[in-house]
Amino acid sequence: MTPLLEVRHLVKEFSVADGLLSRRPRRVVDDVTFSVAAGETLGLVGESGSGKTTTARCVLRLIEPTSGEVAFRGVDILRLGRRELRRVRRHMQIVFQDPYSSLNPRMRVGTIVEEPLAIHRVGTRQERARRVAELFELVGLDPALVRRYPHEFSGGQRQRIGIARAIALDPALIVADEPVASLDAPIQAQVLALLADLRRRLGLSYLFITHDLRLVRHIADRVCVMYRGRIVESAPAEMLFTSAVHPYTQALISAIPRLMPGEPRARIAFDASSYCARPLREVAAGHWAAV
């Protein structure tokens, strides 16, 4: 069966200063390949600077990749013109990390959620207003609040508004870029529960970007671990946590805080100086690692 999203050999280079007068390319995403099936949540994990957010933005063509393929429902979106890309984009949406900067402070929240519908000319004004009210209820907000401004809401409420905007066009894929990183732990749990509920109710697929391995263990079906722009390990979530083989993955897992005081803990140090980029190989069924 064709995956909903298939990324093949994705590369992104930026031009960076190399002295006063010269510049050189810096490869931030290096030969990244993965897929997301319909109804699946794929976690893309790595520390800051690993290339995971750049990968996500290349997938949506918010920035243009240097090379590679990004196939959505079998169509390489990197080859599409502006008009064709716009039609595909309604099926691929994003929830941004910062609920404070991702919402226009000069727009009422109802208008923010309605904006994708207006851009794609979906329904009449009255129909769009009804749809916005439905979306507010779907994400657990009172539709009576649609005329308020973003500053009148808490961080968790703002992220719910961002999620409502993302699902307004009934997308198949949501790219969730660190969607709970800026929220307190209890609010994180509420937003994650909402994302899981929407996945079940709407049949969504997620590309879930995070630096926090604790989160993906509970929300993701599969996990890809990124380091220095490359995927170094990929496996079903539970298999990754019980049978990680790459030293970087093992170090990340060992750094997860323990919940119970006195729980045995053995931190594993990763020696970055010994890192050597290697191709992925299958170490067990469905489990790939660059070892």
Beta 287-289 vs 281-284: how paired, if at all?
A: antiparallel
Q: Which structural domains are found in the chain, ordered by start?
A: 5-91+171-289 (3.40.50.300)
Query: Is 260's pLDDT higher than 60?
Result: no
CA 274 to chain centre: 29
Averaged pLDDT, 195-208 = 96
Q: Which helix (H) or strand (E) holds 288?
A: strand 287-289
- Strand segments, DSSP code E, in 82-213 are 92-95, 173-177, 205-210
Averaged pLDDT, 200-211 = 96
Query: Is 268's pLDDT higher than 90?
Result: no
Q: Which residues contact 275 (CB under 8 A, 6 or more apart)?
A: 227, 228, 248
pLDDT interval class at 218 (50, 70, 90): confident
pTM: 0.92
pLDDT interval class at 265 (50, 70, 90): low
The pLDDT assigned to 274 comes to: 82
- Residue 119 to residue 246: CA distance in whole angstroms: 45
Query: Is 266's pLDDT higher than 80?
Result: no
The pLDDT assigned to 271 comes to: 85
What is the side-by-side strand order in the sheet with 287-289? Answer: 92-95, 173-177, 205-210, 41-45, 222-227, 230-236, 287-289, 281-284
